[in-house]
Amino acid sequence: MNKSKPNILLIYTGGTIGMIKDHKTGVLRAFDFKHLLKRIPELQLLDCNIDTVSFQTPIDSSNMNPNYWVQIAEIIESNYHAFDGFVVLHGSDTMSYTASALSFMLENLAKPVVFTGSQLPIGDLRTDAKENLITSIQVASLQHVHKPIIKEVCLYFEYKLYRANRTTKINAEHFEAFASLNYPDLAESGVHLKVNHEHLFKPNLKKPFKVHKHLDNNIALIKLFPGISENLLKNILSTPNLKGIILETYGAGNCTTEKWFIDLLDTTIKKGIHIINITQCSGGSVIMGHYETSELLKKIGVISGKDITTEAATSKLMYLLGNNISSNMFKTMYETSLRGEMS
Ligand code: ASP
């Protein structure tokens, strides 16, 4: 490879972006990434060397799970020193979950990992795939004195670069499919690519890059709704092996103060199961103790998820459980921002 240009590894996991329409049948099929440069000649104009690697069987991202997250992490780990940046092509449906998980799994990351995808296949006339792909590669190639400018896991979609663990898919049909309501954009693509340097994550560059591959998925995600029954909650909370729960509460972290509810959570915490309070609102933060309705949660030892997204909350829980953090350290670790996922 030409050393004077950044070396970028493009990792194709699946999703709409990598599909082309068979013009005779109209059916969408996965695209052979070995021929990427031939199919998208614009890529040859970019000032970087591009190499590609693809999942053996590309998947729709609705089939994503932690085993695939480990697969992506291992591809990055084994190519970490040979490449200056990574672009992960992924279906948009669960992209925020995967990208959030990778942000925890890749500790002391000193290079860009940019997730992108598209709403329309790359072969479609009105596709958003080309712009998303080309700009993601440009973002991953950004350097200052031969060192990457971006040193975190991010997500690029429709002219905006976001911190990955702050994103949520908010629209199933608009090209602007993602939002980061609690953290500013890292960069914006217009006539110029404008990087908001002050918002970039600054890892400790003295520490070595470390890949965490143990994720514990013995968790539950419970969204409260007025009328939720004691019977339902009791059943969920008595799931064998359950180790952690993400509780999506109302507004700034509020919930019912009915005795059966608080008692049930209290007994669950006493059994050693961690409960994390996050808000159902797309933006804003949990402030435990702000209202009487969350004061009780604070008293029984519920952990505050502050302004974390559901996507980052679930993957952070799996990551910390997988790392065997002692129970007295767990609350402190969860309430601390590890990769810029909470304010
Ligand atoms: N269902 C597709 C996926 O997430 C949608 C997309 O690629 O945007 O894989």
Instruction: List 154's β-bridge partners, or say none.
Output: 114, 163
Find the mean pLDDT for residues 234-248.
97
Domains 7-211 and 219-334 share a fold: yes
CA atoms within 13 A of residue 44's CA, in its CB half-sphere: 7
Q: What is the pLDDT of residues 173-232, one digit of tens each?
A: 898 999 999 999 999 999 999 999 999 999 999 999 999 999 999 999 999 999 999 999
pLDDT of residue 141 exceeding 90, the answer is yes
Q: What is the pLDDT of residues 17-75, one digit of tens each?
A: 887 777 788 777 777 777 666 778 888 899 999 999 999 988 989 999 999 999 999 99
The rounded mean pLDDT for the chain is 93
Q: What is the CB < 6 Å shell around ligand 1? A: 14-16, 60-62, 91-93, 117, 119
Q: What is the CATH number of domain 219-334?
A: 3.40.50.40
Find the mean pLDDT for residues 10-23.
85
Cα–Cα dist 30/288, whole Å = 47
Radius of gyration, alpha carbons of the chain: 21
Residue nearest ligand 1's atom 3 by CA: 91
2 pLDDT band (50/70/90 cuts)?
Answer: low
> Which atom of ligand 1 is found nearest the CA of 16?
7
Q: What is the pLDDT of residues 301-323, one digit of tens each?
A: 999 999 999 999 999 999 999 99
**From ligand 1's centre to the CA of 134, what distance in Å?**
19
Q: What is the pLDDT of residues 82-133, one digit of tens each?
A: 999 999 999 999 999 999 999 999 999 999 999 999 988 887 889 899 999 9
pLDDT of the residue at 311: 98
**From ligand 1's centre to the CA of 118, what distance in Å?**
8
**From ligand 1's centre to the CA of 222, what distance in Å?**
24
Please give the span between the terminal C-alpha atoms of the chain, in angstroms, as a whole number.
40
Question: What CATH number does domain 7-211 carry, 3.40.50.300, 3.40.1280.10, 3.40.50.1170, 3.30.450.20?
Answer: 3.40.50.1170
Residue nearest ligand 1's atom 6 by CA: 91
CA atoms within 13 A of residue 243's CA, in its CB half-sphere: 18
Catalytic residues: 16
CA atoms within 13 A of residue 204's CA, in its CB half-sphere: 7
> Which atom of ligand 1 is found nearest the CA of 14?
9
> Which atom of ligand 1 is found nearest the CA of 94?
4
**From ligand 1's centre to the CA of 15, what distance in Å?**
4
**Beta-carbon neighbour count of residue 256 at 10 Å?**
16
pLDDT of the residue at 340: 98
**From ligand 1's centre to the CA of 273, what distance in Å?**
33
pLDDT of the residue at 1: 57
> Could you tell me if 154 and 128 are in contact, meaning their C-beta atoms sit under 8 angstroms apart?
no
Query: Which conformational region is residue 121 in: left (phi greater than 0), alpha (psi within -120 to 50 degrees), or beta?
Result: beta
251 pLDDT band (50/70/90 cuts)?
Answer: very high
pLDDT of the residue at 173: 87
The residue ranges of every structural domain in the chain are 7-211, 219-334
- If one residue of 31, 89, 93 were mutated to test the ligand 1 pocket, choosing by the most ligand atoms within 8 A of its CB, it would be 93
